[in-house]
Amino acid sequence: MKRVGVLALQGAFSEHIQHLEKCVADNGYEVKIVTVRTPEELSQCDALVLPGGESTSMSLIAQRTGMFPHLRKFVHDPSKAVWGTCAGLIYISQELANERELVQPLELLKVRVRRNAFGRQAQSFVQNCNFSEFIPGCHDFPAVFIRAPVIEHIFDADAVKPLFTLESGLIVAASQGDNILATSFHPELAENDSRFHDWFLRQFVLK
Ligand code: GLN
């Protein structure tokens, strides 16, 4: 039985849990979904999902609660699967392009990320994206972008694979190796559509 943790310090963690639990129930996967707030909870996991929310708060809470070194050690373990969405993507990145003093990132994903790259909350949008190149049959996924970051630069092109690029050329989904996934948008906020979560479980956790 694999244990998938969802980091529950801040942000849209309950939405991730709902999607993941639906995938497990629908498909009978040998997977247990758990919330993670403490080093003990983290230590029992095989995978960790870092939700969207606010990366500055996530970073501050992780520092204040003493979770930061545990999270850092966990995500850098190549036997663990890791998925960061939006603020979670920012938090797992190697470097921030802007407001560096506000977030102490986990320095896992070998990219430089720009926070709030599309502007303010009012510039949030939903775009139907064709992810069928990496998720079989997924031609029309409603990707929710809320004060979303973009991957501005890839430091290690051998390690990091861009998965999806908007028409403007901005990279909004990427993987690193066979265990790390990052998305600028929020699959956890796609109502009644758990295809992205199902793909994460099958491709990264149950592989
Ligand atoms: N802009 C937010 C940040 O910097 C991320 C927004 C989100 O997760 N929706 O953390």
Closest ligand 1 atom, residue 146 Cα: 9
Distance CA 90, CA 57 (A): 12
Ligand 1: residues with CB < 6 A are 52-55, 86-87, 90, 115-116, 146-147
For the full predicted model, state whether its pTM sits above 0.95.
yes
Contacts of 28 (CB under 8 A, 6+ apart): none
Residue in this structure with the two tokens 């942000």, named with its chain if needed: 11
Distance CA 132, CA 77 (A): 29
pLDDT tens digits, one per residue of 11-22: 999 999 999 999
Active site residues: 86, 186, 188
Kindly give the residue spans of alpha helices, DSSP state H, lying in 124-194. Answer: none
Task: Tell me whether 0.85 is exceeded by the ipTM.
Answer: yes
Name the residue among 151, 9, 51 with its Cα closest to residue 93. Answer: 151
pLDDT tens digits, one per residue of 130-148: 999 999 999 999 999 999 9
| Residue type at position 24 | V
**Do residues 3 and 46 touch, judged by C-beta distance below 8 A?**
yes
Residue 122: pLDDT band with limits 50, 70, 90: confident
Compute, in angstroms, the gap from residue 6 CA to the centroid of ligand 1.
17
Distance CA 169, CA 179 (A): 25
Residue 47 pLDDT more than 90?
Answer: yes
Residue 97: pLDDT band with limits 50, 70, 90: very high
Q: Nearest residue CA, atom 9 of ligand 1?
A: 146
Compute, in angstroms, the gap from residue 124 CA to the centroid of ligand 1.
11
Q: State mean pLDDT over 151-158.
A: 97
**Do residues 99 and 47 touch, judged by C-beta distance below 8 A?**
no
Contacts of 157 (CB under 8 A, 6+ apart): none
Residue 184 pLDDT more than 90?
Answer: yes
Closest ligand 1 atom, residue 86 Cα: 8
What is the distance, to the nearest Å, from the Cα of residue 142 to the centroid of all Cα atoms in its chain? Answer: 16
Distance CA 38, CA 27 (A): 29
